[in-house]
Amino acid sequence: MADAQSFDVLVVGGGPGGYVAAIRAAQLGFATACIDDWTRGGGKPALGGTCTNVGCIPSKALLQSSENYAHAGHSFAEHGIEIGKLSMNVGTMLARKDKVVGQNNDGIAYLFRKNKVAFFHGRGSFAGRAGERWTIGVDGARAATLSARHVIIATGSVPRALPGTPFDNVRVLDNAGALAMADVPKRLGVIGAGVIGLEMGSVWRRLGSEVTMLEALPTFLGAADEAVAKEALKQFTKQGLAIVLGAAISAVRVGKDDVTVDYNDAKGDAQRVSFDRLIVSIGRVPFTTGLGADKVGLALDARGFVEADAQCRTNLPNVFAIGDVVRGPMLAHKAEDEGIAVAERIAGQHGHVDFNTIPWVIYTSPEIAWVGRTEQQLRQEGVDYRAGSFPFAANGRARALGDTTGFIKFVADAKTDRILGMHAIGPWVSELIAEGVVAMEFGASSEDIARIVHAHPTLSEVTREAALAVDRRTLNL
């Protein structure tokens, strides 16, 4: 074996968790290397992991393209914009998405060069430990052996398949397949009405598919605020997404040209439905294949997550794990912030991630976003709270925009008025939620938000009015 190339910090995985951890470690003065195996056309590396390649970024690119198409078809006319017959070139849309992804891949490679992070393209696998240093082998075109005192595992997650129905990405699609359909299927089935199902279902529904979503649970979007979930279900149904709750899938048969799903509906009655394509989006599972966990005794839990404490420490000395491969929400910003915190802990600083203020955003139309606790959680916990909400329908900017769906709600402690949560559905709430996150981080009260000047006319005035609503003193309703 050739002598190992020596580093202070080795990061395995170049998704949002790993690449950000590597940059922060390098900023803190550590000799840092990142190993990632994602490959794009021509065998080129494709840094950014699931998020950049088949997740956050391409899904948002397609959501934007399909929303533009929907606007052109449905709302341009009321602005006086007259267009002839509308058509969609799916190939051009996909090429644009790939370009956006490529720009992000290249951007991360540039950031590595700028921050002097050494990059190794290939699969990294624990080889052993010599003294205080871990050794990791990299396979791939340029095999290497690396060593470091500190290792950060950021190997991410992969889609969960329905038992007995493997993904073929022809008829039965995972997230990668759902982002790459070369034409618009007439009948699209989606199993799982969660985040991916709703975002991908929305894309293809806007482009003309008849979309049926089969969700196992009897409640829709159970993690969201009840009023938000109710409004979302109403809007999505109105748009034409057929959402079947309480569906127990009993069989999936893949034919040459279609795929047939048998299920029992909420009443227990047997149903059969056929689709041209089926997206299965029933959650994701942690990915540690090929990492060599066994070789060094890295502990995994019963579900395959790398065991990690609140500080992201594993059972092995100086080995940390972050992002989708450990407990907690599978979100890019959660992975990033864990990566930053771990790099800072390695440097002896007090890296910190506040799990109470991690925002959730679903990029459908209307968008859905929340941070903190929901009313139903607070009721369960027996917390005395006050809630106030304000509709976009009473906001001038929303009317001018032509999108008055939804509302923003604050929940605040009844005694102290400290904000406990912000829940929103409507235009651009993906951006508006940041105000709630900042407010909660600073321990703000609803009165604080109510007393802050918000520019007029902006959607952010809805945020302020929702804060005023907590004290029953809205001005514009």
The binding site for ligand FAD (CB under 6 A) comprises: 12-18, 35-38, 49-51, 55-56, 59, 123-124, 154-157, 175, 196, 287, 290-291, 323-325, 330-333, 335
Minimum distance from residue 251 beta carbon to ligand NAI (Å)? 12
Kindly calculate the radius of gyration of the chain based on its CA atoms and give it in whole angstroms: 24
Residue 318 CB coordination number (10 Å): 17
* Residue (281 or 474) nearer to ligand NAI, CB: 281
Show the tokens assigned to 92.
Answer: 């051009």
Q: Work out how close the CB of 452 gets to ligand NAI at its nearest, in angstroms, rounded to a whole number.
A: 27
Looking at 74, 352, 423, 456, which residue is catalytic? 456
Residue (263 or 428) nearer to ligand FAD, CB: 428
| Residues near ligand NAI (CB under 6 A) | 162, 191-197, 199, 214-217, 249, 281-284, 329-331, 361-363
What are residue 365's phi and psi, to 5 degrees? -125, 115
Of these partners, ligand FAD, ligand NAI, none, which one is at the site of residue 260 (CB under 5 to 8 Å by kind)? none
Q: Kindly tell me which of 430 and 458 has the beta carbon lying closer to ligand FAD.
A: 430
Of ligand NAI, ligand FAD, none, which one does residue 333 interact with (CB within 5 to 8 Å by kind)? ligand FAD
> Using CB atoms, what's the residue nearest to ligand NAI?
194
338, interface contact from ligand NAI, ligand FAD, none, CB < 5-8 Å by kind = none
Minimum distance of ligand FAD from residue 12's CB (angstroms): 5
Question: What span, in angstroms and rounded, lies between the C-alpha atoms of 22 and 112?
Answer: 8
Return d(Cα 79, Cα 1) in angstroms, integer: 69
Nearest one of 42, 46, 35, 44 to 9, comparing CA atoms: 35
Residues 6+ apart with CB under 8 A from 442: none
Question: Measured between alpha carbons, how far is 300 from 372 in angstroms, rounded to an integer?
Answer: 29
> Locate tokens 């709430």: which residue?
429
Which two structure tokens, joined as six digits, stand for 225? 């605020």
By beta-carbon proximity to ligand NAI, the closer residue of 214 and 341 is 214
Answer with the entry of ligand NAI, ligand FAD, none that 150 interacts with (C-beta below 5 to 8 A by kind).
none
Q: Would you say 277 or 397 has its CB closer to ligand NAI?
A: 277
Q: How far is the CB of 198 from ligand NAI (least distance, A)?
A: 8
Q: Of 330 and 412, which has the nearer Cβ to ligand NAI? A: 330
What does 194 bind: ligand FAD, ligand NAI, none (CB cut-off 5 to 8 Å by kind)?
A: ligand NAI
**Shortest approach of ligand NAI to residue 215 CB, angstroms?**
5
φ, ψ for residue 179, nearest 5 deg: -90, 0
Select 154 or 247, whichever has its Cβ closest to ligand FAD. Answer: 154
Rounded CA separation 278/212 (Å): 9
**Please, is 287 exposed, middle or buried when counting C-beta atoms within 10 Å of its C-beta (0-12, 13-18, 19+)?**
middle
Tokens coding 175:
């997230």
Using CB distances below 5 to 8 A depending on partner kind, what does residue 217 bind out of ligand FAD, ligand NAI, none? ligand NAI
**Binding at 218: pick from ligand FAD, ligand NAI, none (beta carbon under 5-8 Å per type):** none
Query: In the complex, what is the shortest distance from the CB of residue 137 to ligand NAI, in angstroms, rounded to a whole number?
Result: 30
Read off the tokens for 19: 């690449």
Element (H, E) at 35: strand 32-36
- The Cα 359–Cα 382 span in angstroms is 23
**CB nearer ligand FAD, residue 48 or residue 406:** 48
**DSSP-based three-state secondary structure for 412:** strand
Q: How far is the CB of 374 from ligand FAD (least distance, A)?
A: 19
- Strands in 300-437 per DSSP E: 319-321, 360-362, 367-372, 385-391, 407-413, 419-426
DSSP 324: G
CB neighbour burial string for 77-88, b if at least 16 within 10 angstroms, e if fewer: eeeeeeeeeeeb
Minimum distance of ligand FAD from residue 252's CB (angstroms): 20
Q: Are 325 and 306 in contact (CB under 8 A)?
A: yes
What's the rounded Cα separation, in Å, for the pair 152 and 339?
Answer: 8
Told to judge if 74 belongs to the known catalytic residues of this protein, a careful annotator would answer no
16 binds, among ligand NAI, ligand FAD, none (CB under 5 to 8 A by kind): ligand FAD
Q: Report the catalytic residues.
A: 456
